[in-house]
Amino acid sequence: MIVARNLSLGLILYYTWKKLLYYLIVSTTIYILHEYSGLLYFNIPSYTIAALGVALAIFLGFKNDHAYGRWWEARKIWGLMVNYSRAWARQATTLIIPNNEAESEEVHAFQKMLVYRHIAFVNALRVFLRRPHDYNVPKQKELFEEDNTYTDAIPFISEEEYQIFRYQNNPPNFLLQRQGEDLKLAFQKGWLSDYRFVKMEETLVDFNDIQGMSERIKNTPLPRQYTFFSKVFVLIHCTLLPMVFITEMGWKTIPIALIVSFVFLALDMVGERTEDPFENKLEDTPLSSLSITIETNLREQLKEHKDNYPPKYESKEGIIL
């Protein structure tokens, strides 16, 4: 996620220079052919590109609106993760009640285990979501990246649990199943009444929802039939542009066509880069920083000493991952 108000020119050119070069070559070629060759007539009337306007507006508007919709939904889902994580920690510490003073310490350790395993779940889901799909590997190295490995869960679950966890088909779901089994245990020990047991199980269903909604966005791309054609039609439109401009504008065709092409190129690319929010790239939903926020909040609710808190997440060059 970018928080800096202005994007640096370097950043913009890093991702666009190849396409800009193409458009520069196209418009220069058309200018030269038109002016000096005398052989070819490339000029076409301006209403040809006007006629494309409607179609472009719909394809580009579609791509950008829904790319943002996906990104913002991803952020909302992880916002829910923040909210329910805090609720989970409070419920673990206030709804689970020892039968008598003697059990007090055992219950306290049990509460802490539930909260820690939840931090493991948050980290596991982050890692699970940021694994790249084969069809989504970027052609170009990303400028900003972050490590995401399941080992991040080690401090929060037992060694024995970690060994099972890491070989699961769906590791985060395994942790939720474990939480459920431990709630049953607490119920059988009398620390939870029937009603408070089910209340905490309901909070686990909220985490099922959060995980499943995140997986949906991860595994279902914006329909390719839209994103592919928007890319193709921007290419068609911007290739036709210098042919329209050449009749009246002469050499000015080159800079003006480049500027206008850049605007459309930018419009297509910001959609392309926003649409997948879990790919470990600079426009990502900031899962790393949210994981740290959650860990900090939950340790504070457990009344741990501030020294235990993870270090504050710092933005790098106006980017938060």
* Residue 177 near a second copy by CB under 8 A: yes
Residues 127-166 that bind a second copy (CB under 8 A): 133, 135-136
How far apart are CB 25 and a second copy at their closest, in Å?
20
Name the residue nearer to a second copy (CB basis): 156 or 187. 187
Interatomic CA distance for residues 204 and 200, integer angstroms: 7
* Residue 280 near a second copy by CB under 8 A: no
Interatomic CA distance for residues 85 and 291, integer angstroms: 10
CA distances from 264 to 16, 59, 240 (A): 12, 12, 13
Pick the binder of a second copy from 33, 82, 107, 154 (CB under 8 A). Answer: 82
How far apart are CB 261 and a second copy at their closest, in Å?
10
Closest CA to 277 of 45, 115, 78, 71: 71
Residues 18-77 that bind a second copy (CB under 8 A): 44-62, 64-66, 68, 71-72, 75-76
Q: With CB under 8 A, what is the number of residues at the site for a second copy?
A: 119
* Contact string 223-262 vs a second copy (x = CB under 8 A): xxxxxxx---x--x----x--xx--xx--x---x--xx--
Interatomic CA distance for residues 49 and 238, integer angstroms: 9
* Residues in contact with 149: Cβ distance below 8 Å, sequence separation at least 6, in sequence order: 127
How far apart are CB 123 and a second copy at their closest, in Å?
19
Q: Please count the other Cβ atoms lying within 10 Å of the Cβ belonging to residue 132.
A: 12
The interface region with a second copy, picked from 103-111, 122-130, 154-162, 176-184 by CB under 8 A, is 176-184
